[in-house]
Copies of this chain bind each other. A is one copy, B any other.
């Protein structure tokens, strides 16, 4: 894709992925190119600046896979998790399962922390805090349910190597 394409796609999925400005996207792309993680295919156009279509290199793919699997354990960020989900095709099925399991562990930890907060507070707590904790709890439980259903399905099939099917 081109930088412009990437931005468009990110903007479309803004809610899930977040987006970045061109001011940081273009320089980032230049850096990746300099490091040899992507190649550029310059396609001239009349009237417009030439489209620069980037493709990932083997080196880049390796670096990416490294990133996907580097210490998800401590790193929380929902955004990073969504990114890893989106890149599911780039890692093995066991890798994907690991991602989901790690996320599951994180959410459980998080949920326990919330419960503890709610418990400590008791009844004298302000409406705001109660609302917030309830909100967090509900969302955590929904996400857990989702993770469990996905994990169930993925663990059922005796890893068919390349025949992963999500629905």
Distance, CA A145 to CA B57, complexed state (A): 44
Contacts of A142 in B (CB 8 A): 138-139, 142-143
Inter-subunit contact A166/B127 (CB<8 Å): yes
Chain A positions 70 through 97: 1 when the CB is less than 8 Å from some CB of chain B, otherwise 0 = 0000001000001001111110000000
Say yes or no: is A13 at the interface (Cβ < 8 Å to chain B). yes
For A128, the chain B residues whose CB sits under 8 A away are 85-90
Query: What 0/1 pattern do residues 116 to 142 of A give for CB contact below 8 A with B?
Result: 010000000011111110111011001
B residues near A82, Cβ cutoff 8 Å: 132, 135-136
Residues facing B in A126-167 (CB within 8 A) are 126-132, 134-136, 138-139, 142-143, 146, 150, 164-167
Q: How far is the CA of A86 from the CA of B132 in the complex (A)?
A: 6
Q: In the bound complex, what is the Cα–Cα distance between A135 and B82 (angstroms)? A: 9
Could you list 28 examples of A-B contacts with CB < 8 Å? A15-B110, A15-B113, A16-B132, A16-B136, A82-B135, A85-B128, A85-B131, A85-B132, A85-B135, A86-B129, A86-B132, A87-B128, A88-B126, A88-B127, A88-B128, A88-B131, A89-B126, A89-B128, A127-B164, A131-B150, A131-B166, A134-B166, A134-B167, A135-B146, A138-B143, A138-B146, A139-B139, A142-B142
Name A's B-contacting residues (CB within 8 A): 12-16, 76, 82, 85-90, 110, 113-114, 117, 126-132, 134-136, 138-139, 142-143, 146, 150, 164-167
